[in-house]
């Protein structure tokens, strides 16, 4: 059986060149809320970090969630 990863490095470049991405604007009427449990110590640490960096706590929490994803 051949290795599925055994191919020329540029073997799929033509397929990528032929592909076309399509992005549609989101619907402003839809809102998604995600609940993530955070313990008090973590929330305190993130709040302190936001103060140190002069940023909104929401931005620091978003960065932390993105890094954890």
Residue 4 is assigned to a structural domain of this protein: no
Residue 9 is assigned to a structural domain of this protein: no
Instruction: Report the alpha-carbon distance of residue 55 to residue 57 in Å, rounded.
Output: 6
Residues of the domain holding 48: 38-69
Measured at the CA of 13, the angle between CA 12 and CA 19, to 5 degrees, comes to: 95
Residue 61 is assigned to a structural domain of this protein: yes
Please answer whether residues 56 and 62 qualify as being in contact, where contact means their C-beta atoms are separated by less than 8 angstroms. Answer: no
Query: Considering the entire predicted model, what is its pTM?
Result: 0.48
Contacts with 57 (C-beta within 8 Å, 6 or more apart), sequence order:
46, 47, 50
Total domain count, the chain: 1
Mean pLDDT calculated for residue range 31-41: 83
Residue 48 is assigned to a structural domain of this protein: yes
Q: What is the pLDDT of residue 39?
A: 87
Q: What is the pLDDT of residue 37?
A: 83
Residue 43 is assigned to a structural domain of this protein: yes
């Amino acid at each position: 059986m051949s290795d599925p990863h055994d191919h020329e490095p540029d073997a799929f470049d033509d397929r990528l060149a032929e592909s076309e991405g399509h992005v549609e604007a989101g619907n402003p009427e839809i809102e998604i809320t995600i609940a993530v449990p955070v313990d008090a110590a973590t929330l305190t640490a993130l709040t302190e970090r936001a103060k140190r960096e002069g940023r909104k706590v929401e931005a620091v929490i978003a960065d932390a969630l993105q890094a954890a994803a």
